Structure 1
Amino acid sequence: MGDGAAQTVKDARGLTYPGPAVPAAGEAVEVAPGVLWLRFALPFQLDHVNAYALADGDGWSVVDTGLRTREATAAWDQALAGPLGGRPIKRVICTHMHPDHIGLAGWLCERSGAPLWMSRLEYVTARMLMAETAGDAPADGEVFYRAAGWSEAQIGRWRDEYGGFGKGATPMPRSYRRLSEGEVVRIGGDDWTVVVGSGHSPEHVCLWRRSDGVFLSGDQILPRISSNVSVWATEPEADPLGDWMASLDRLAGLLPAETYVLPAHGEPFTGVQARLEALKRGHEVALKRLERTLRQPSRVIDGFPAVFGRAVGDEVLGMATGEAQAHLNYLQRRGRATRTRDTDGVDWWSAVARDEDTP
């Protein structure tokens, strides 16, 4: 186990980071009673993901697994033999279906014989996406991205790269144990309440140990970045930003100010109410900027500077398009924007004038 030297740090946004130093690959530090913190490298701009091991009798319940990479597998081998003491994994809990969270779930379950625990929508969505393979790019996707303003070259690259979801994850177990909102899970001698959020993913599981205020937040609350909230071609009329904003409001009404948040990215922190308010305010600011952009008819891709405050390159084009589309769908659902599709299949969005816009 790592030395875990405490290093309380405060930032200018009202958050405090009272936890131990970040664990090295293959190491683990105790971040709360009976909770070990592990960290795995990611080959992306977001370069890490956190996992947690909860003491569970003579073994461990693991929360999230990292991406399917040789480095992550080697780090798990080291952690299981070292800081986890060779004790068995009793269950593998995944907060949601993104590959950096489920990437090694199948491998860990097969290796240990432990069952997989997830919410239903996350499990089913993961199984669906993993079944899609290269060469299987749907025509509906081409329609969706053309409507957003993508060029034919960008659509061609998307088509060529389609079906990559499963590359980041080992095959999922063919059965699972469902987690549901409000369920209380007994892990070791502690009760953990399931709190479900949505917007970033369909039915995201958080775990709350009410007895001491420890909250395993996954991607539902992150300290320094805002989770991606996107519309995808499989459900082009979805309103995930509405779901996300409602989840932020619900969490703000549920979690005490002193809650200790253990996130999937970044460091454990306190100051949850300030963070929830900042996450919501960030989207509200983006929506106002986007409405100003829409005073002139605009495509989804024209909304990038308003939503992100900067230019966006092709390396994140899909996620950026999904998030800009989410903000536009949010405005449309609330009567604040309209769209018209031209003869080339491109959507042009316009703001709906409101009383406050009148000079």
Structure 2
Amino acid sequence: MTPIASPRPRPEPVRLDFPHTEPPVAGKPMEVAPGILWLRLALPYALDHVNLYLFEDAGGWTLFDTGLGDDRTRAAWDELCGTLLNGRPITRLIVSHAHPDHVGMAGWLHERFAPPLLMPRSEYLLSQLLQRQRTPEVEAGEAAHYRACGVGEEDVGHLLKRGLNYLTRTTGLAHSNRRLASGDRLSIGGRDWRVITGGGHSLEQAMLWCEADRIFLSADQVLARISPNVSVYSMEPQADPLGGYLDSLAELGAMVGEDALVLPGHNLPFRGLPRRTAELTEHHALRCERLAVACGEAPRSCAELVPVLFPRHLDPHQLGFAIGEALAHLNHMVSTGTLAVGEGGDGVLRYRTL
């Protein structure tokens, strides 16, 4: 399918303020604010890193996110336990959301230090669910979901194999969890933090806001250089995560000022969050406009619309994210009355512009 031109040109990227022009060397933390260490660990993806944050706290460290549960990350944590921590334990573990690059080492760290685990309830339960062995019924449901999106049988087979990745890139979870909910207050490292949660990239991603010191831990909800993946999955095929994500961006843009230091889950720390949330909102509006043009020409399946948003070759790993992201935009447009969806005799859902 020939990529569809945008109905209006893409705006120039906004200018953000970066207090650090270079990240820390992987596994070698640096102080990013008084009492807060920025730790970067490697990932085996195109997005090749994840940011974690350590807070000097009473009797030890509070850790925000864990890294991927693979051998390279285990080796990095083994070294950190002998150097950075210097005999001081991790006394509290905060996990922002259930994606394996953020929760992957939670089980390993629990075995080592037994810190209390703090996670949003839905993120904790989702991670527990995904760490169970896959059943034939689960795979059959996923296959039916991809077929309804118009995915061919060969690609369906490739996409089903992606589900095994979660089991190999996580190390379990503590049996109990202290629920993090929006509006909760935490005292960490002598600062008062407010918990903010937001949907879209995950179900109920936790972020931390210290209004007094103007520091905001955004996890993956707002990143400086990339748009977080916002996807629909087979367990809830008619969900509208993009609507939740746009609501979250509006809330954050109004709450967190231009002067706040944003500590994200990927990319560099920055200032200028309202500029970035406005840019991300516009980014998704342009994507919806491109889909509306394509679906105005003829009814199209989700798989047929993937090249409209991703006009490049995609490997199976990237294709799974692309289908989920395209479907998130399509579901949002159906919910807002921009598109209609119908099922043909072949069982494939197709979308047309109203």
| TM-score normalised by the chain length of structure 2 | 0.93
Quote the offset at 1:303 in angstroms.
Answer: 1.6
Checking the alignment, whether the CA contact within 8 Å between 1:135 and 1:160 is kept in structure 2 is no
Alpha-carbon distance, 1:137 to partner: 3.8
* Residues 318 and 161 (structure 1), Cα distance of their counterparts in 2 relative to 1, 3 Å cut: closer
What displacement does 1:134 show?
6.7
Paired residues, number: 342
- Could you list the runs of 4 or more consecutive aligned residues of structure 1 that deviate by over 2 angstroms after TM superposition? 83-86, 132-140, 156-164, 305-315
- How much is the aligned-residue C-alpha RMSD, in angstroms? 1.6
Residue 187 (1) aligns with residue 181 (2):
no
CA-to-aligned-CA distance 1:27-73 (integer Å, 9 cap, x gap): 11000111001011000111000100011123100000100111111
Counterpart-to-counterpart distance in 2, 1:134 and 1:47: 31
1:48 counterpart = 2:45: no
User: 1:266 Cα shift?
Assistant: 0.4
**What SS does the corresponding residue of 1:328 show, helix, strand or coil?**
helix
Question: In structure 1, how many angstroms separate the alpha carbons of the residues matched to 2:13 and 2:153?
Answer: 44
Match of 2:153? 152
Corresponding residue number in structure 2 for 1:197: 198
**Structure 1 residues 204-249: Cα deviation after superposition (integer angstroms, max 9, x where no partner):** 0001111111111100110000000001000001000000000001
Using the TM superposition, give the Cα deviation of residue 125 of structure 1 relative to its aligned residue in structure 2, in angstroms: 0.7
Structure 1 contact 134–162 (Cα < 8 Å) conserved: no
- Scaled by the length of structure 1, the TM-score of the pair is 0.91
- 2:310 maps to which residue? 308
8 Å CA contact retained: 2:210, 2:216: yes
CA distance in 2, matches of 1:143, 1:196: 31
Match of 1:344 in 2: 346
Query: In structure 2, do the counterparts of structure 1 residues 18 and 160 end up closer, same or farther at CA, with 3 Å as the change threshold?
Result: closer
**Partner residue in 2 for 1:174:** 175
CA distance in 1, matches of 2:86, 2:119: 25
Conserved 8 A contact 2:191-2:210? yes
State the distance in 2 between where 1:292 and 1:300 align.
Answer: 14
Percent identity between the two aligned chains:
41
Q: 1:76 to 1:20 in 2, by over 3 A?
A: farther
Please list every run of 5 or more consecutive structure 2 residues that lacks an aligned counterpart in the other structure: 1-11
What are the within-5 Å matches in structure 2 for residues 184-333 of structure 1? 184-295=185-296, 296-308=298-310, 310-333=312-335
Matched residue of 2:72: which SS?
A: helix
Partner in structure 1 of residue 9 of structure 2: none
Using the TM superposition, give the Cα deviation of residue 313 of structure 1 relative to its aligned residue in structure 2, in angstroms.
Answer: 3.8
Cα displacement string for residues 65-96 of structure 1 (whole angstroms, at most 9, x for unaligned residues): 10011111111122232233321111111000
Match of 2:4 in 1: none
Which SS does the other structure have where 1:199 is aligned?
Answer: coil
Q: Distance in 2 between matches of 1:142 and 1:164?
A: 17
Give the Cα–Cα distance (whole angstroms) in 1 for the partners of residues 269 and 282 of structure 2: 22
Could you say if the C-alpha distance between residues 146 and 63 of structure 1 is closer, same or farther in structure 2, counting changes exceeding 3 Å? Answer: same
Tell me by how many angstroms 1:160 deviates.
Answer: 4.4
Supply the distance in 1 between the matched residues of 2:86 and 2:13 (Cα, whole angstroms): 39
User: Alpha carbons of 1:284 and 1:20: their partners in 2 closer, same or farther (altered >3 Å)?
Assistant: closer
> Structure 2 vs 1, CA of residues 98 and 255 (structure 1 numbering), >3 Å: closer, same or farther?
same
Task: Using the TM superposition, give the Cα deviation of residue 129 of structure 1 relative to its aligned residue in structure 2, in angstroms.
Answer: 1.1
Distance 1:259 1:174 in 2: 36
Q: Which runs of 5+ in 1 are unaligned?
A: 1-10, 353-359
**What secondary structure does 1:230 align onto?**
coil
8 A contact 1:304–1:310 mirrored in 2:
no
Q: Are 2:128 and 2:173, in contact at CA under 8 Å, matched by a contact in 1?
A: yes
Which amino acid is 2:241 matched to?
P
Distance 2:253 2:130 in 1: 32
Distance 1:311 1:19, change over 3 A: same
Question: After superposition, where does 1:79-90 map in structure 2 within 5 Å?
Answer: 79-90=80-91
Deviation at 1:140, TM superposition (A): 2.2
